[in-house]
Amino acid sequence: MSTDMESSTKRGRSVVYIVSMVLLVVFAVVALLTFRQARETQQSLAKADQLIVEINAAGGTAPSREQIARVLGDDGGAVCANPNGALSRATFLSQLANGTTGPGMRPVISNNRIAQGELAIIKVYCPDQLAEFQEFVNDLNTYKSGGA
Give the tens place of pLDDT for each residue, 81-124. 999 999 999 989 888 888 888 888 888 888 888 889 899 999 99
Helix (H) or strand (E) holding 135, with range, is helix 130-138
- Measured between alpha carbons, how far is 49 from 47 in angstroms, rounded to an integer? 5
**What own/partner pairs with CB < 8 Å and gap ≥ 24 does 130-133 have?**
132/84, 133/83, 133/84
Q: Centre a 10 Å sphere on the Cβ of residue 11 and count the other Cβ atoms it contains.
A: 7
Pick from 121, 24, 144: nearest CA to 72: 121
The yes-or-no verdict on residue 18 having pLDDT over 80 is yes
Q: pLDDT grade, residue 3 (50/70/90)?
A: confident
The yes-or-no verdict on residue 146 having pLDDT over 80 is no
Helix (H) or strand (E) holding 56, with range, is helix 42-57
Question: What residue spans define the domains of the chain?
Answer: 8-39, 41-138
| Residues 112 and 142 sit within 8 Å (Cβ to Cβ) | yes
Tell me the C-alpha to C-alpha distance, in Å, between residue 38 and each of 20, 57, 63, 66, 68.
27, 29, 20, 13, 14
- At 39-98, the pLDDT tens digits run 567 888 999 999 999 999 988 899 999 999 989 988 998 899 999 999 999 989 888 888
